[in-house]
Amino acid sequence: MSHTISFPNSEHGDLSLEAHTPLADELTVQNSPILFGCRTGICGTCLVTVVGDVPPAKAEEQELLDVLAPHHPQARLACQIDLTQDLEICPYGTAHHNSAPV
């Protein structure tokens, strides 16, 4: 089963990825606008806002999100996302989906 990843505020085209593909690997290969560092949920480089149904953050991810993006329920670490649905992803802090500024 594959899912579509789109990057609404970028020129980058949509990607179709198999479920549970590690985003850190594939988005880097595809030269997407999402940047990665540690890939293990520690550095915060991959902070994004996400529209779509993603499994909730684990405790370690949530701890970092509480520091980097407090009170922002759409914020996630892209390297920690388990791909189970179509997603729209934007780097955190960029204009996003016609929603309120982040």
Positions that interact with ligand FES (CB under 6 A) = 36-39, 41-46, 77, 79
Our CB check for ligand FES shows the closer of 93 and 98 to be 93
User: CB of residue 19 vs ligand FES: minimum separation in angstroms?
Assistant: 20
User: CB of residue 80 vs ligand FES: minimum separation in angstroms?
Assistant: 6
What sign for the dihedral angle of Cα 62, 56, 58, 44? negative
Our CB check for ligand FES shows the closer of 36 and 84 to be 36
- Other beta carbons less than 10 A from residue 53's beta carbon: 9
Contact 90, 9 (CB under 8 A): yes
